[in-house]
Structure 1
Amino acid sequence: MMKAVGLDVWIVLLFAVAAILHGVAGMGFPLITIGALSAPYGLTEAIIIVLVPTAMLNLIAWLGGAGGMGYNFRHYLKKYWALVLVSIIGSALGAYLLLIVNTAYLLLALAVVVLWYAITSLLGKKIVLPDTVPSLIGIGFIAGVIGGATNAMSSVLLMYLLSLSDDKNVIIKVGNLCYFVNKLVQVIVLKDVIATVSATTWGVIGLLTVISVAGIMLGAKFSKRLPSDKFRLLILWVLIGLGLKVGWQGVQMLMV
């Protein structure tokens, strides 16, 4: 049975801060929370703890804002359905890998790629991935695998989205659409583990979800005042921080 989760002060602050950042930058919540929770609870259990809050934040970031829920649902799903489809396939594979493979090596490889991308971009060497079907399939599948196995989908997917558009609204909407689908796939694959979660833990997860929703709404207000160039710079620095965190997590897993 999954270990019980308490509503400790540090967990409340962790979810609040991560949600605010997600509201500002459109990403970061799952990696920050899982990075902090994986040490005391383990990677698989950490992913399950943040599953519902993350899915709610992804839905809000995808469907909320200008145009309304109906427009955002139809427009982004119709235009980017191929990216969503390949990410679903990758997510299923990644979630199964989470159950059978030591993810330390995947985390280390991811850290190297993310840090290389962010640092070279900050140095002015913009990486432009081709807007082609093979590129879409490859990046979508890889992002799905990594998202399913580690919840670090955003780090890879943003490389593709940032190369296609400087419109922060498009980047946030499409990214969170793919992240949300990734959560649905994880629920299906990890259903046996999820079934062991106690009622008390579900209660804590429910309260953390409420806190997270309040945080993303607060962060979204800050985001409206953030110019596109500042938004891109913020994401690159967030990627560096997340890359270092993921790499250190991989090293720790290998040392155990």
Structure 2
Amino acid sequence: MKFELWLIPLFIIASLLHGIVGMGFPLITIGALSGVYGLTSAIVLVLVPTAVLNLIAWVGGSGGVWHNATFYLKKYWSLVVVSILGSALGAYLLLVVNSAYLMLALAVVVLWYATTSLMGKKIVLPNTTTSLVVIGFVAGVVGGATNAMSSVLLMYLLSMTDDKDTIIKVGNLCYFVNKLVQAIVLKEVLLEVPTQTWTMIIGLTVLSVLGIVIGARLGKRLPSAKFRTLILWVLVGLGVKVGWQGLVGVL
């Protein structure tokens, strides 16, 4: 994968959003990168930065690293387990399914998430064990195959609680585990990544960490709603682009 200058603002903007609202980095980066590098290569490129940002968002903040790590893992272990199973299946699909079909699936998920959010609609589900198992598994599959896990998982988290911190912590815990599963399933692909690309990934990871730290601070001062609306429109454009490329690949 060749380094392009536009990757720098892409990763900075995506990580800023993640710092401000607690999510968004994978959707933005994969939406932009999959049309250029292909879905599998795009997921490999953002796997490490995404995992690091998810870990920071999960264990960082008030309460301390140990408390945040153990408290949410113990309380929501069942959601984590079913999402692991789904993530394994989703990551496996990357290896055996035509990427054009996965790009179409990614486009549908991204466009659905962006348009429903722009219309102010919140799709919530009953806070039941059945919802937990079904949504956790489906979110894992979507996350493992397309990196768009948040668009599905949010439906359950919003029905579970209105607390922003809990939604962010639990969400990023599941996203982090999803990245670990992806790394295991895609081990052979990762081992073939050249050193030059790993250098690029490390550099983009450092930029992303700076972005999430700054975003977390800006989130206390800036009107995050306006910034989030702008990003949602960007996602609409990216979703249309990825969907078109998926259609071309299928046809």
Same fold per TM (> 0.5)? yes
Count of aligned positions: 249
Alignment partner of 1:25 out of 18, 21, 27 = 21
- Conservation of the 8 A alpha-carbon contact between 1:103 and 1:149: no
Distance verdict in 2 for CA 1:75–1:139, change over 3 Å: same
Alignment partner of 1:197 out of 193, 199, 208 = 193
- Conservation of the 8 A alpha-carbon contact between 1:115 and 1:239: no
Distance verdict in 2 for CA 1:94–1:236, change over 3 Å: farther
* 1:84 to 2:103 alignment: no
SS in 1 for 2:162: coil
Distance verdict in 2 for CA 1:124–1:35, change over 3 Å: closer
- Conservation of the 8 A alpha-carbon contact between 2:59 and 2:65: yes
Distance verdict in 2 for CA 1:95–1:178, change over 3 Å: same
TM-score (normalizing by structure 2): 0.89
* 1:210 to 2:210 alignment: no
Aligned to 1:220: 216
Cα offset for 1:27? 1.1
Please identify, of 17-26 and 154-163, the stretch whose mean Cα deviation from structure 2 is larger. Answer: 154-163
Q: State the distance in 2 between where 1:40 and 1:123 align.
A: 29
Distance verdict in 2 for CA 1:104–1:255, change over 3 Å: same
Aligned to 2:2: 5
Please identify, of 158-167 and 74-83, the stretch whose mean Cα deviation from structure 2 is larger. Answer: 158-167
- Conservation of the 8 A alpha-carbon contact between 2:101 and 2:246: no
Q: State the distance in 2 between where 1:21 and 1:124 align.
A: 18
After superposition, give the CA deviation of every residue in 1:48-97 in whole Å (9 maximum; x if it has no partner): 11111111000000000010000000111011111110000000000000
Alignment partner of 1:251 out of 219, 240, 244 = 244
Please identify, of 105-114 and 188-197, the stretch whose mean Cα deviation from structure 2 is larger. Answer: 105-114
Alignment partner of 1:159 out of 144, 155, 162 = 155
- Conservation of the 8 A alpha-carbon contact between 2:83 and 2:136: yes
Which amino acid letter does the alignment assign opposite residue 242 of structure 2? Q
- Conservation of the 8 A alpha-carbon contact between 2:104 and 2:247: no
Aligned to 1:37: 33
SS in 2 for 1:9: coil
Cα offset for 1:220? 0.5
Alignment partner of 2:49 out of 40, 53, 59 = 53
After superposition, give the CA deviation of every residue in 1:16-72 in whole Å (9 maximum; x if it has no partner): 111101111111111211222222221111111111111100000000001000000
* 1:65 to 2:58 alignment: no
Alignment partner of 1:94 out of 90, 94, 97 = 90
Q: State the distance in 2 between where 1:5 and 1:129 align.
A: 42
Please identify, of 153-162 and 109-118, the stretch whose mean Cα deviation from structure 2 is larger. Answer: 109-118
Q: Gapped runs of 5+ residues in structure 2?
A: none
Cα offset for 1:5? 3.1
SS in 1 for 2:6: helix
* Aligned-CA RMSD value: 2.4
Distance verdict in 2 for CA 1:146–1:116, change over 3 Å: closer
Distance verdict in 2 for CA 1:117–1:12, change over 3 Å: closer
- Conservation of the 8 A alpha-carbon contact between 2:17 and 2:228: no
Which amino acid letter does the alignment assign opposite residue 136 of structure 1? L
Cα offset for 1:106? 4.5
Q: How does 1:171-190 map to 2 (within 5 A)?
A: 171-190=167-186
Please identify, of 11-20 and 31-40, the stretch whose mean Cα deviation from structure 2 is larger. Answer: 31-40
TM-score (normalizing by structure 1): 0.87
Cα offset for 1:254? 2.1
Cα offset for 1:12? 1.1
Q: Gapped runs of 5+ residues in structure 1?
A: none
Cα offset for 1:211? 0.5
- Conservation of the 8 A alpha-carbon contact between 2:48 and 2:201: yes
Cα offset for 1:114? 5.6
